A and B are shown apart, each in its own frame.
Chain A
Amino acid sequence: GESVGLHLPTLSVQEGDNSIINCAYSNSASDYFIWYKQESGKGPQFIIDIRSNMDKRQGQRVTVLLNKTVKHLSLQIAATQPGDSAVYFCAENRLYRYYGQNFVFGPGTRLSVLP
């Protein structure tokens, strides 16, 4: 079935470097995507979202890029800090019967920031 997945399950970066986390999706009808951050022992937290009519969106130290041609999403974190260590999920919007939004989550990428 259609799914959302990630290229790299783990990523280690030096503190201060930029991080790039990738995500592939297969549902070409998806029109809305969100990146979540999950710290150990906590629930996922919203980071940034992007709609399919955009190819780039910037937040504070984070940028999401969307390439609809190859169905690819990436999250870029500038000047990675120890507090960025977490698992990052991309999520794809999918509508259910009652029109409530549901997001399909990929398996996640663990980001480890090295001192």
Chain B
Amino acid sequence: NAGVTQTPKFRILKIGQSMTLQCAQDMNHNYMYWYRQDPGMGLKLIYYSVGAGITDKGEVPNGYNVSRSTTEDFPLRLELAAPSQTSVYFCATKGRATSGYTFGSGTRLTVV
């Protein structure tokens, strides 16, 4: 039982490049979330999904896009990478009956 799997663990992008951060879960949780964590700061919500086919913006969605075609996967897309997107990105899930989130181990992204 893998829980929440994020790939890649590390990535360096050049300004203007694009990439997709992958998040997969095997817990059959309906709710999935993408957060970013900047140094010395708390987690900020980028996008979230309450089920397949339903997504919505969080606190800091600009520069990102998501899709949720299946319960298991919730990829985060960066179209035109900017230095301000240098951060650690965490995917999290939550089931209806669970108390808190289950987090992945994170993707550390550097945009240069």
* Mutual binders A and B: yes
| Complex-state Cα separation, A32 to B105, whole angstroms | 25
Report which of A4, A43, A104, A106 forms a contact with B105, defined as CB distance below 8 A.
A43
B residues near A, CB below 8 A?
A: 4, 31, 33, 35, 40-45, 48-50, 54, 56, 58, 90, 92, 94, 99-106
**Residues from chain A with Cβ under 8 Å of B33 in the complex:** 102
Min CB distance, A93 to chain B, in Å?
10
Contacts across chains A and B counted by CB atoms under 8 Å: 64
Report which of A9, A43, A101 forms a contact with B103, defined as CB distance below 8 A.
A43
Min CB distance, B34 to chain A, in Å?
11
Size category of the A interface is: 20 to 34
B44 closest partner in A (C-beta): A105
**Residues from chain A with Cβ under 8 Å of B102 in the complex:** 46
Query: Are B99 and A105 neighbours in the complex by a CB distance under 8 Å?
Result: no
